[in-house]
Chain A
Amino acid sequence: MLGIVIGVMAITSLGMTGVALEKQATANLGNLANEVSVSPGEDIETDGITDDQVETIRDIAPATTVIPQRSNATELTARNGAEANVQVTGVTNPAPLYDIATGDEPTRLQTGALITESTAEQLGLQLGDPVEYGGQIYRIRGLIAAESGFGASGGGELVLPESALNEQEHYNSVTVITEDGETSTATANAIEAEFSDADEEILTATSFASVQEDISSFTNTLELALLGIGSISLFVASVAILNVMLMSTIERRGEIGVLRAVGVRRGEVLRMILTEAAVLGGVGGLIGSAGSLVVGLALFHVLTGEAALALEWSSSRYLLYGMVFALVASVLSGVYPAWTAANESPVDALRG
């Protein structure tokens, strides 16, 4: 019984670990992979990306979120005299671009400002405090979390409404948020094809496709490794279950002899042992799965911070697999001992 429980827990927990690690990896890196960054090319005639070009991008990639941005740089000075160089970004819809640690996460930024957490700390700024840019005062509505993935600039950033940078007529860059990594590659290619050719480069579009490739090859390797470990534990668990079944029939050799002597048929002995194996496997599988669920919840809590993710089908299906495995392996492991026990001569079995 213990062998079955441990076997099921080994397999199920490994499966769930795989899912949890994959979730964590994609959560950490994944939000970069679906971004396409569009910037002015060498042969552009204006000093930035025009409204018309933004509209064309929207037409090329209809199912995406297109976020044009103006940017600049400035030096912020705090009341206590501390100074910080920050990049200023004017954007109407900052929500998809930034992780907000505290405060608002606006999808339409009309007033107020967002500022990187570290910069705010450096300057002693808090939510509701004013910052000045271009002679205007903006109140801080939200603090941007330190970037967790790569690709972000190390310095601080001040995010303002688009109108704050109105003196710049054109956009400095456009970020296109797509559904996933594959779409982002396709979108980047489509934008390049529209605006550039071999001789002329009006706009360039970069997707984080290479990052995406790295992520998928990383998770593939991870899955393969876990699959390898998983199949070893599957094998070990099967041997453990076979051993359990063998032991239990050897222990009861005499009893089976009595059954046979008093006229219980071979088929009935066989059925009895297989039924017992199935019950053993079923109960063991249930206990093992319950244990794995606890392990899974803990794992998801630690790795992704959200224990409830363990209940999603992608990971909870391993509980089902574990249970089915326990049942099938137990019955299969029961076949040989049951067959031997049923066919032993009752005289030999009675003698012990």
Chain B
Amino acid sequence: MSVIQLTDVTKRYDTEAELIEALKAVDFRAERGEMVVVTGPSGSGKSTMLNMIGLLDSPTAGTVHLDGRNVTDFSEDERTEERRSQLGFVFQDFHLLPMLTAAENVELPSMWDTDVDRRDRAVDLLRRVGLGDRLSHTPDELSGGQQQRVAIARSLINEPDILLADEPTGNLDQETGETVLDEITRLKNEENVAVVAITHDEQLVGYADHVVRLVDGVVQ
């Protein structure tokens, strides 16, 4: 059973000027321990597709299954719970909170839980991405690659099944990008998560278990 399954997913944006069809009857699936890279030119619907899988947006037609459950018609609160427990996000510009330390940023998704060992898990994750000595640094004291590794640690704090990455190497140089991708690959195997990364960076393709090409909202 696939941990992610999009069936016949269509997304239309109805703006005043025109009707935009960002995704056209897209079928997509990904398994645990697998890294799927979605490529395509800008405007091809990559981000829209990631938002569908990440439950940040809902499709106009078609169904979304996560771990075998139909989540298409989940309410906003149900989707929030799902994001919290099943999904991890890594963004192109890291999106760390500038006032918080690395460890606090990692804890952020579960900061409101009265879970006593979340600090331990945050520290453990930061050690595993090689930032054990940067726990109390704030983002502006970290390099881009280090910030992205903090973001990866944050995405794994709630032990998700799925890690979604939006251009994870987009703001990093070639070498730093490689270490970040090595990190993602290693954690993917250790935590047995499905990784879906969208990019137009060919570097990422080398790390993929398989690659999906999107053009004009259609899977090629």
Contacts and interface: CB of A to CB of B under 8 A. Distances in A.
Interface string B51-67: 10010110000000000
A38 to B, nearest CB: 76
Nearest to B51: A347
Interface string B65-90: 00000000000110011011101110
Contacts of B81: 263, 265
Nearest to A254: B95
A262 B109 contact: yes
A170 B186 CA distance: 114
Contact of B80 (A255, A263, A347): A263
Contacts, number: 53
- Chain A contact residues: over half helix, strand or loop, or mixed? helix
A262 B89 contact: yes
B87 A263 contact: yes
A129 interface: no
Interface in A327-350: 345-347, 350
Contacts of A258: 91, 95, 97
Contacts of A265: 77, 80-81, 84, 112
Given A261-B89, A262-B83, A345-B56, A268 B97 contact: no
Contacts of A259: 108
B26 to A, nearest CB: 17
B158 A263 contact: yes
Q: Please indicate which of the listed interface residues A254, A262, A271 has the most CB atoms of chain B within 10 Å of its own CB.
A: A262
In this complex, the interface size class of chain A, counting residues with CB under 8 Å from chain B, is 10 to 19
A264 interface: yes
Contacts of B76: 266
A266 B76 CA distance: 9
B133 to A, nearest CB: 25
Interface in A238-268: 254-255, 258-266, 268
A255 B77 CA distance: 19
A264 B79 CA distance: 11
A265 B88 CA distance: 15
In this complex, the interface size class of chain B, counting residues with CB under 8 Å from chain A, is 20 to 34
B46 interface: no
B109 A264 contact: yes
B112 A264 contact: yes
B95 A260 contact: no
Contacts of B97: 255, 258
Interface of A: 254-255, 258-266, 268, 271, 345-347, 350
Interface of B: 51, 54, 56-57, 76-77, 80-81, 83-85, 87-89, 91, 95, 97, 108-109, 111-112, 154-155, 158
Given A258-B95, A261-B54, A261-B56, 10 more contacts: A262-B88, A262-B89, A262-B109, A262-B155, A263-B84, A263-B87, A263-B158, A264-B111, A271-B112, A347-B51
24 contacts: A255-B95, A255-B97, A259-B108, A261-B56, A261-B83, A261-B89, A262-B83, A262-B84, A262-B108, A262-B109, A263-B80, A263-B83, A263-B84, A263-B87, A264-B80, A264-B84, A264-B109, A264-B111, A265-B80, A265-B81, A265-B112, A347-B56, A350-B56, A350-B91
